[in-house]
């Protein structure tokens, strides 16, 4: 099945065990790094179990990518997004009834709609998939309250659950298990390490010079993240003026334009994507050589997920975090602003990223330790370990 539908010759670490567990009908939670191949972990079982596989997913672009991928492999699938008219809906329902297996993608906010209930009525649901499952936890980033309604599906359909995420501290993991009401789940946790990514942090005053010199060093495709929409526009313009092909992407652009920009970048028409955190989830471009943050991310989880978009092809890549005095000040202000609850939350999320940025410790150790993973230091592939090596006496 792997070679005939997917053209892959072997499984990646974890895939075989996860697939076996899910096919067997056991509730399963899979924690695999970004690009680790989580989709396969539910697509193969969905096909094997047959019937309708419901896939709950937070983002439209993500769903469309997956439906296209499945369709290209001759597998029936549909993403319920935007306005769906009655004609299309009944067409989908009849395809569903006549297919041995069918993948239905939707955001959890849609579960409570008449359209969804009509569509799914009388169908056999073989598997319920919760992608980007960390969205269920208010301990993590990207919290989506509607994820909490997913567990109700169990009563109606009795199908096993398969939850997947690339971002899981132990706390988020416990939250997923609890809020999905998983039953004696098997939890598969694989190393989140991405050995080919070189991590570094730079304290900067002249961000422009720093960015340009990185783009000069790393000639390949790049993503630059900034925390504000205005910042993104300004950076994209700066780069264009410096003769570097770039585009801006953020939540303030209309959907059609965002699609257009994203496609241009995916098709290698643009080298540098300058974006807010609205960009990237589910983007599958393997040859990104540099992910550079000019603004401090909201949390260490977000940072690692965004940085993880570098080097999915396994070749050397860089993740660089620039810390300016202003960015630091803005984050520190967050720790003191807002209600008591907001401050607690800010502390929980912001402290770890500040610590990551400011401590002279192996970066990989810092971030993986935060996810509860122990690694051997020096890692040999971050700025701190690099300095250690240079300072070590020669034999
Ligand atoms: P994730 O959801 O974990 O971030 P994806 O499921 O999107 O990762 O997969 C990332 C990429 O890896 C995709 O291009 C996919 O086709 C590829 N991939 C997944 N499994 C394998 C495999 N066993 N062999 C080769 N490529 C794979
Ligand atoms: Mg995925």
Provide the residue ranges of all domains of the chain, joining segments of one domain with +: 2-189, 197-391
Give the position, in ligand 1's atom list, of the atom nearest the Cα of 39: 6
For domain 2-189, the CATH class is alpha beta
**What CATH code is assigned to 197-391?**
3.40.50.300
Give the position, in ligand 1's atom list, of the atom nearest the Cα of 9: 24
Query: What is the model's pLDDT at position 70?
Result: 96
Separation of CA 39 and ligand 2 centre (Å): 6
Instruction: Evaluate whether 2-189 and 197-391 have a shared fold.
Output: yes
Rounded average pLDDT over 171-189? 96
Mean pLDDT rounded to a whole number for the chain: 93
Site to substitute for ligand 1 among 34, 40, 66, most atoms within 8 A of C-beta:
40
- Kindly give the residue spans of alpha helices, DSSP state H, lying in the chain: 15-23, 38-49, 60-72, 86-98, 114-120, 153-157, 170-179, 207-217, 229-241, 255-266, 300-307, 325-336, 340-358, 363-370, 383-391
Which residue has the least CA distance to atom 10 on ligand 1?
35
Lining residues, ligand 1, CB within 6 Å: 8, 11-12, 15, 32, 34-40, 166, 284
Separation of CA 53 and ligand 1 centre (Å): 19
Cα 161 to Cα 13, 18, 91: the distances in Å are: 21, 12, 27
For the entire predicted model, the pTM comes to 0.80
Among 35-39, 45-49, 236-240, the minimum mean pLDDT is found in: 35-39
Q: Which of 153, 122, 121 is nearest to 56 (CA)?
A: 153
Which residue has the least CA distance to atom 25 on ligand 1?
8
What is the tens place of the pLDDT at every residue in 134-148? Answer: 999 987 777 899 999
Do residues 148 and 181 lie in contact, with contact meaning Cβ atoms separated by under 8 Å?
Answer: no
């Amino acid at each position: 099945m792997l070679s005939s539908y997917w053209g892959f010759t072997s499984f990646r670490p974890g895939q075989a065990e996860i697939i076996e567990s899910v096919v067997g009908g056991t509730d399963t939670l899979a924690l695999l790094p970004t690009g680790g191949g989580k989709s396969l972990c539910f697509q193969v079982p969905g096909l094997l179990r047959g019937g309708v596989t419901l896939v709950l997913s937070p983002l439209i672009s993500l769903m469309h990518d997956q439906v296209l991928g499945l369709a290209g492999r001759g597998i029936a699938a549909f993403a319920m997004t935007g306005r769906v008219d009655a004609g299309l809906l009944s067409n989908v329902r009849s395809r569903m009834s006549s297919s041995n297996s069918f993948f239905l993608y939707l955001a959890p906010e849609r579960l409570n709609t008449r359209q969804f209930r009509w569509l799914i009525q009388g169908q056999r649901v073989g598997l319920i998939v919760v992608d980007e499952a960390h969205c269920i936890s208010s301990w993590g980033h990207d919290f989506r309250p509607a994820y909490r309604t997913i567990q109700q599906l169990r009563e109606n359909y009795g199908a096993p659950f398969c939850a997947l995420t690339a971002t899981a501290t132990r706390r988020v993991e416990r939250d997923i298990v609890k809020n999905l009401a998983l039953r004696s789940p098997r939890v598969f946790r694989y190393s989140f390490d991405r050995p080919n990514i070189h991590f570094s942090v730079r304290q900067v005053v002249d961000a422009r010079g720093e960015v340009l010199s990185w783009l000069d060093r790393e000639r390949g495709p790049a993503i630059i993240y900034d925390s504000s929409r205005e910042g993104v526009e300004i950076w994209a313009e700066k780069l264009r003026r410096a003769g570097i092909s770039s585009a801006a992407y953020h939540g303030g652009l209309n959907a059609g334009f965002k699609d257009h920009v994203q496609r241009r970048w995916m098709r290698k028409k643009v080298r540098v994507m300058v974006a807010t955190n609205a960009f990237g989830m589910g983007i599958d471009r393997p040859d990104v050589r540099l992910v550079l943050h000019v603004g401090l991310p909201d949390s260490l989880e977000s940072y690692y997920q965004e940085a993880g978009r570098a080097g999915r092809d396994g070749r050397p890549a860089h993740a660089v975090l620039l810390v300016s005095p202003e960015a630091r000040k803005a984050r520190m202000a967050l720790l003191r602003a807002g209600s008591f609850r907001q401050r607690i939350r800010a502390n929980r999320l912001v402290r770890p990223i500040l610590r990551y940025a400011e401590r002279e410790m192996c970066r990989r150790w810092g971030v993986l330790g935060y996810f509860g993973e122990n690694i051997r230091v020096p890692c040999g592939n971050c700025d701190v370990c690099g300095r250690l090596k240079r300072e070590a006496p020669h034999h």
